[in-house]
Amino acid sequence: MKCPHCNNSVGWFKGLKRIKTGDSKAKILACPACGEAVQRHFNWKLFFVLMPVMAILLLFVVRPTVEATGLSYLIGVDSGLMGVLAMLPCYYLKDAVAA
């Protein structure tokens, strides 16, 4: 994810700082580099494009590999991991004022 203000790359697990507001439900975060307010958004269109690709990859690459190694008890785990991997690129940062 890139900050819309400074174009600094913000890692997923690096941690955006929460901005304290009067509203406890506000999800306003701050870029760790420039300190400007940003919000995390989800791109549903990209998610629905990636899901069939991940399903095909799961059925024809991951699942046969898991079964060939004898780890058939991980069949449900690999499906969940593919779903998470499809979700991660769908998050992006937007200016908190414009959102």
- pLDDT at position 44 is 94
- pLDDT at position 66 is 81
Q: Given the DSSP bridges, would you call strands 91-95 and 37-42 parallel, antiparallel or unpaired?
A: antiparallel
Closest by CA to 12, choosing from 2, 27, 26, is: 2
Exposure on the CB side of residue 71, measured as CA atoms within 13 A: 11
2 pLDDT above the threshold of 60: yes
- pLDDT at position 72 is 73
Domain coordinates in residue numbering, the chain: 17-95
Which tokens belong to 77? 């785990």
Contacts of 63 (CB under 8 A, 6+ apart): 75, 78
Question: What are 12-70's pLDDT values in tens digits?
Answer: 766 677 777 666 666 678 888 888 888 888 999 999 999 999 989 988 988 888 888 88
Give the predicted TM-score (pTM) of the model.
0.69
